[in-house]
Amino acid sequence: GIQVEQSPPDLILQEGANSTLRCNFSDSVNNLQWFHQNPWGQLINLFYIPSGTKQNGRLSATTVATERYSLLYISSSQTTDSGVYFCAVETSGTYKYIFGTGTRLKVLA
């Protein structure tokens, strides 16, 4: 099956710093989402982005489907950005999402 690898696995930032999280996938995908899992375990959908670029406030994401990767940019990080970031992909005809390995982010005040 498809492999979904995220990097880096762990990241520590000072408040106000910028960061880039990467999601690589081993096969063609129909759909891709980025999620933030907060310290209480709730998964929040950040972006639905099978291709192209989207921005929402301090966050933006880019997916280059032909090269099988997606990037999540966090600018001016805040302590509330701490948690785990997952990408999830759906391959053609499966209707199910497979999750990446995750990036654990800690933002220090």
What distance in Å separates the CA atoms of residue 65 and residue 104, rounded to the nearest whole number? 24
Q: Which amino acid is at 5?
A: E
Q: Does 85 bind other proteins (CB under 8 A)?
A: no
Give how far the C-alpha of residue 20 lies from the chain's centroid of Cα atoms, to the nearest Å: 9
Q: Does 5 bind other proteins (CB under 8 A)?
A: no
Q: Does 95 bind other proteins (CB under 8 A)?
A: yes
Q: Does 83 bind other proteins (CB under 8 A)?
A: no
Residue 35: strand pairing partners? 45, 86
- Quick one: 75 or 94, whose CB is closer to other proteins? 94
Residue 108: strand pairing partners? 14
Q: Are 70 and 99 in contact (CB under 8 A)?
A: no
Cβ at position 1, least distance to other proteins in Å = 8
What distance in Å separates the CA atoms of residue 80 and residue 59, rounded to the nearest whole number? 13
Choices 14-22, 52-60, 70-78, 89-97; region in contact with other proteins by CB under 8 A = 89-97
Tell me which residues touch other proteins (CB under 8 A): 30-31, 33, 35, 40-43, 45, 48, 50, 86, 88, 90, 95-102
